[in-house]
């Protein structure tokens, strides 16, 4: 009887381990990693005077994120984003471009951002606020009718802020939108300010 009782206790202990271990694994999988990578892309909408010159375009982004406490509210990112769009017909007319000219606008952003997440660490849906600072390189590229290409770039400092929602745990999906503003001074002349709002969807792991 004692041996049977001992065997039953051992079986119950093993069964308990079998239940607890998967539960712990599931809980860990539901919490974002301390270090994570994100990639994504979407549309970019110019705002203000920038919208008079540039059409709605597209963007691609990537980042490395550090969350000191796994699943905690605060995180920091090192990030980069590339946006590209065509110029408006009015702008092309103003600069004297012809129908055979292909003139495009590119913005390359590299910077750092801070995030604050809302909700439970193990929650499958976590909204967050985000804001950052960085360098912006504005490039105008022209390919004329004969296939010859020209480009001119200016770099300036800017800031951004917005919000997003993250779905999932260690591997997840995010939807994010931010307002960006930066200024450049072409050739030491008049400073111009550009504003745009990228809306991006991506994966994080």
Phi, psi of 55 (to 5 degrees): -85, 170
Report the range of poorest mean pLDDT among 22-36, 46-60, 171-185: 22-36
Per-residue model confidence (pLDDT) at position 147: 76
Q: Are residues 16 and 37 in the same domain?
A: no
β-pair type (35-47, 192-204):
antiparallel
Predicted model pTM: 0.83
Per-residue model confidence (pLDDT) at position 187: 75
Query: What does the pLDDT average to over 12-30?
Result: 50
> How does the average pLDDT of the chain come out, rounded?
88
CB contact at 8 A, 115 and 160: no
Which of 27-31, 94-98, 142-146, 171-175: highest mean pLDDT? 171-175
Q: Are residues 5 and 88 in the same domain?
A: no
Per-residue model confidence (pLDDT) at position 13: 56
Per-residue model confidence (pLDDT) at position 10: 57
Percent of residues, the chain, with pLDDT higher than 70: 85
Q: Are residues 100 and 112 in the same domain?
A: yes
The count of structural domains within the chain is: 2
Q: Does 128 score more than 90 pLDDT?
A: yes
Instruction: Look up the CATH number of the domain holding residue 155.
Output: 2.40.160.20
Per-residue model confidence (pLDDT) at position 178: 99
Query: What does the pLDDT average to over 121-140?
Result: 95
Q: Are residues 109 and 9 in the same domain?
A: no
Q: What is the SS3 string spanning 119-172?
A: CCCCCCEEEEEEEEEEEEEEEEEEECCCCCEEEEEEEEEEEEEEEEEEEECCCE
Q: Does 144 score more than 50 pLDDT?
A: yes
Q: Are residues 63 and 109 in the same domain?
A: yes
Domain of residue 150, residue span: 33-204
Per-residue model confidence (pLDDT) at position 97: 85
> Could you report the per-residue pLDDT of 50-107, keeping only the tens digit for each?
999 999 999 999 999 999 988 789 999 999 999 999 999 999 889 888 878 889 999 9
Phi, psi of 24 (to 5 degrees): -65, -40
Q: Are residues 15 and 112 in the same domain?
A: no
For residue 174, the SS3 value is strand
Q: Does 4 score more than 50 pLDDT?
A: no
C-alpha to C-alpha distance for 61 and 119, rounded to whole angstroms: 25
Q: Are residues 37 and 4 in the same domain?
A: no
At 138, the pLDDT band (50, 70, 90 cuts) reads very high
Q: Are residues 102 and 164 in the same domain?
A: yes
> Among 186, 199, 183, 175, which Cα is nearest to 48's?
183
């Amino acid at each position: 009887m004692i041996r049977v009782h001992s065997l039953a206790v051992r079986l119950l202990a093993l069964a308990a381990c079998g239940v607890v271990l998967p539960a712990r694994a599931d809980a860990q999988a539901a919490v974002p990693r301390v270090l994570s990578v994100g990639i994504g892309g979407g549309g970019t909408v110019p705002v203000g005077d920038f919208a008079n010159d540039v059409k709605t375009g597209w963007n691609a982004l990537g980042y490395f994120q550090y969350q000191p406490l796994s699943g905690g509210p605060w995180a920091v990112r090192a990030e980069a984003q590339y946006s590209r769009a065509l110029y408006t017909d009015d702008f092309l007319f103003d600069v004297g471009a012809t129908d055979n000219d292909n003139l495009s606008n590119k913005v390359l952003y590299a910077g750092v951002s801070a995030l604050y997440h809302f909700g439970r660490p193990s929650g499958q849906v976590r909204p967050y606020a985000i804001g950052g600072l960085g360098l912006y390189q504005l490039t105008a590229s022209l390919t004329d009718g004969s296939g010859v290409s020209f480009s001119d770039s200016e770099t300036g400092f800017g800031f951004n802020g917005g919000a997003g929602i993250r779905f999932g745990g260690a591997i997840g999906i995010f939807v994010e939108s931010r307002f960006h503003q930066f200024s450049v001074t072409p050739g030491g002349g008049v400073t111009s300010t550009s504003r745009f709002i990228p809306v991006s969807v991506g994966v994080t792991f």
